[in-house]
Amino acid sequence: MPKRGYHHGNLRQALVEAALKLIEAKGPTGFTLSEAAKQAGVTPAAVYRHFEGREDLIAEAARQGFIMFADLMQHAYDKYQPSALAAFEATGRAYLAFARKNPGHYIAMFESGISSNRSPELANAAHRARAILERAAEDLSQHIPADRRPPASMFSAHILAMSHGVVELYARNTPGATSPFPPEDLLETGIGIYLRGLGLIDQD
């Protein structure tokens, strides 16, 4: 493959884009830096001018993913203001939408084994994304009597766990995991049951 005339910043991003395709196709441990270089159309040595190794490259893909994820979550949260309930439910749907649209980023963020504390930049991006859902949970939890109110961090963690489970089992064509219901319906009804249990939605 002929080498492309990349500028410094363009090559770095081209390597990230190559890694995202490889992550989606082969998983985060299923490719080498040489493969990423080949896909980007550069020599393997060029990769090391930008990344120390494969994990460093995946971490950058994860950082960019968390920025995109946070932007999507923020948009969902803002769109349904001032309804705390609608804003909270929208952030849950945004999680699933992001995983469907950006599988390479999602895998880098949540399934690569790369710690979100690997670098301050990655940690900040991940924290911003989590903070949006926690803020939505905090808004909604104000409608729960204080003696029955879970901490917002626990509240949001439950929804993240539910969202992640639906993505992993039913939105990624996981072998052996089938459901007669679309993932979106599973997540929406699951959140609904959870919110009814907290008294935030009237029982039918």
Q: What's the pLDDT score for residue 35?
A: 92
* Residues of each domain in the chain carrying CATH 1.10.357.10: 55-197
Q: How high is the pLDDT of residue 120?
A: 94
Q: What pLDDT was estimated at residue 164?
A: 87
The pLDDT averaged over each successive group of 10 residues in the chain (204 residues) is: 51 93 92 90 86 92 96 94 88 89 93 91 94 90 83 86 86 65 85 83 58
* CATH architecture of the region 55-197: Orthogonal Bundle (1.10)
Question: What's the CA gap between 162 and 87, in Å, rounded?
Answer: 17
In terms of Cα–Cα distance, which of 113, 115, 150 is closest to 134? 150
- CATH 1.10.10.60 residue ranges for the chain: 1-51
Report pTM.
0.85
CA-angle at 95, arms to 77 and 161, nearest 5°: 110
**What is the structure's pLDDT at 173?**
63
CATH superfamily placement of domain 1-51: Homeodomain-like (1.10.10.60)
